[in-house]
Amino acid sequence: MKPIDCGHLYRDGRHYDLQNKDFLDDIPFYLRQTKKYGEPVLELACGTGRITIPIAEEGIQITGLDISEPMLSQAKRKAAIKGINVEWIKADCRNFKLNKKFNLIFFPFNSIAHLQDLESIKSCFSCVKMHLKDKGRFIIDIFNPRLDILTRDPSKRYPVAEYPDPDGKGTVVITENNTYDAATQINRIKWYYKIGIQAEEVVEKLNMRIFYPQELDELLYYNGFTIKAKFGNYDETPFESTSPKQLIVCYSHKWGDSD
């Protein structure tokens, strides 16, 4: 298995939360799914609890699992302030064993793109199957690849985010560019951080595995999952060529056909 190479990006959960503070679109979708499929719920790669905490606030029993200590610390801080109860687990989603099974496991916000090789994907899917209850559901959320974005000019800069620095150093401006390796299907992204008036930019690398629609469906199939629904966005419209998202709801073959 390839080592996880995104740790540096997630070294400060405060930056992650400020960067993503306006992205709320997926929360109602996961709330609907948790109400439909029931608790307990497990979120893989839960980060700072951006989705986990609003679900727990509805009184739903949820476990958040992530490999990053700084992201989990931020999640715990936020949950403590709100006085809500979440079980936080520090673990690798490719190798975990909890003494519990779940009615719903979800892997949101493109996090599967951090799993870059077949061994990682197989191990993760195998752990998911071990932790699903009878007829339990697994949901994956990853963008539908856009060739125009993957092949855009790597010498240009494209905007990512702008937010106030949590340590009061001014405004953080993040821009990016990327080079796509079609052989490995890895999109090699560089994020350029400019903080306040400092002249020097900080450059962080982010490698994302690209999953094409048929490939992802087949990876699930050959790893023992049946796809129940594939949506193209959080409003649950069916997946089609121009859909922004691949939102797959599936269950383990082991349970035969399911409602």
Ligand X SMILES: C[S@@+](CC[C@H](N)C(=O)[O-])C[C@H]1O[C@@H](n2cnc3c(N)ncnc32)[C@H](O)[C@@H]1O
**What does the buried/exposed string (b/e) look like for 14-24 if buried means 16 or more CB atoms within 10 Å of the residue's CB?**
bbbbbbeeeee
Would you say 206 and 177 are in contact if contact means Cβ atoms under 8 Å apart?
no
d(CA 16, CA 30): 20
Token pair recorded at residue 70: 């700084």
Q: How far is the CB of 230 from ligand X (least distance, A)?
A: 20
For ligand X, which is the closer residue by CB, 12 or 226?
A: 12
Q: How far is the CB of 94 from ligand X (least distance, A)?
A: 5
Residues 125-154 that bind ligand X (CB under 6 A): none
Nearest residue by C-beta to ligand X? 47
Residues 199-238 that bind ligand X (CB under 6 A): none
Q: Helix 213-222 and helix 118-130: axis angle, to 10°?
A: 50
Under rule CB under 6 A, residue 116 binds ligand X: no
Q: How far is the CB of 217 from ligand X (least distance, A)?
A: 22
Q: Cβ contacts of residue 194 below 8 Å, gap of 6+?
A: 172, 173, 174, 175, 201
Residue 59 half-sphere exposure, CB side, CA atoms within 13 Å? 1
For ligand X, which is the closer residue by CB, 8 or 156?
A: 8
Under rule CB under 6 A, residue 55 binds ligand X: no
Under rule CB under 6 A, residue 6 binds ligand X: yes
Give the single-character DSSP code of 207: E
d(CA 44, CA 93): 6
Under rule CB under 6 A, residue 45 binds ligand X: yes
Binding residue for ligand X, selected from 15, 42, 47, 53, defined by CB under 6 A: 47
Element (H, E) at 18: helix 13-19
Would you say 71 and 50 are in contact if contact means Cβ atoms under 8 Å apart?
no
Residues 64-103 that bind ligand X (CB under 6 A): 66-68, 71, 92-94
Integer angstrom CA distances of residue 180 from 70, 109, 207: 29, 20, 10
Judged by CB under 6 A, the stretch of 45-53, 132-140, 154-162, 225-233 that binds ligand X is: 45-53
Judged by CB under 6 A, the stretch of 28-36, 106-114, 151-159, 187-195 that binds ligand X is: 106-114
Token pair recorded at residue 253: 């073959």
For ligand X, which is the closer residue by CB, 116 or 252?
A: 116
For ligand X, which is the closer residue by CB, 43 or 217?
A: 43
Residues within the interface to ligand X (CB under 6 A): 4, 6, 10, 45-47, 50-51, 66-68, 71, 92-94, 108-111, 114
